[in-house]
Amino acid sequence: MPVPPPLRDFWAGFVAACGGVDETRFYEAFAFGDSEALARELADLVLRGVKRATAGSAWVFEAQAKPLPRPGDLSIVTTWAGEPLCVIETESVDIVPFDEVGAAFAAAEGEGDGSLAFWRAAHEAYFARECQRIGRPFVPTMPVACERFRVVYPPHAG
């Protein structure tokens, strides 16, 4: 997937800061969550270094015929309005049943109080909305793509 035209200058700044990057590593540009408020909250956690992981429904990837991210993939995190905030690099992706996601992953997501209980409540609600959009019921055994990432380009660092 090519870098979207409105984000090419931002990407070029990242490439220059890194001394060159293979553009085939670009995975996507996206805002976290499914609302402007959630996108703002989660992006803030990423920019502060609290959020180092994210979870997506494997069923949604399948419904969109979208490949899962792979280690080394690079994505631009944006605001809800599409303004670039940072570049993240995928470190790992594990497919895990929702009800088997562990406390360490929940803590790496950095949301709420960082507990598994918070993660499960918040993500069950989110995944229920996602499942409804693709015409599937949420079930506790649904496959979740658990992605760990690191920020590799904060535009206003230093």
Mean pLDDT, the chain, integer: 94
Across the beta sheet with 26-30, what order do the strands follow? 26-30, 74-78, 84-97, 143-153, 53-57
Exposure letters 2-31 (e unless 16+ CB within 10 A, then b):
ebbeebeebbeebbeeeeebeeeebbebeb
**Count of all residues that appear for the chain in the document:** 158
Cα gap 148→108, rounded to integer Å: 8
Q: What is the pLDDT of residues 14-38, one digit of tens each?
A: 999 998 999 999 999 999 999 999 9
CATH of domain 5-148: 3.10.400.10
* Domain layout of the chain by residue ranges: 5-148
pLDDT of residue 154: 84
**Confidence tier at 158 by pLDDT (50, 70, 90):** very low
pTM exceeds 0.85 for this model? yes
pLDDT of residue 156: 57
Percentage, residues of the chain above pLDDT 70:
97
pLDDT of residue 81: 96
Q: What is the pLDDT of residues 39-69, one digit of tens each?
A: 999 999 999 999 999 999 999 999 999 999 9
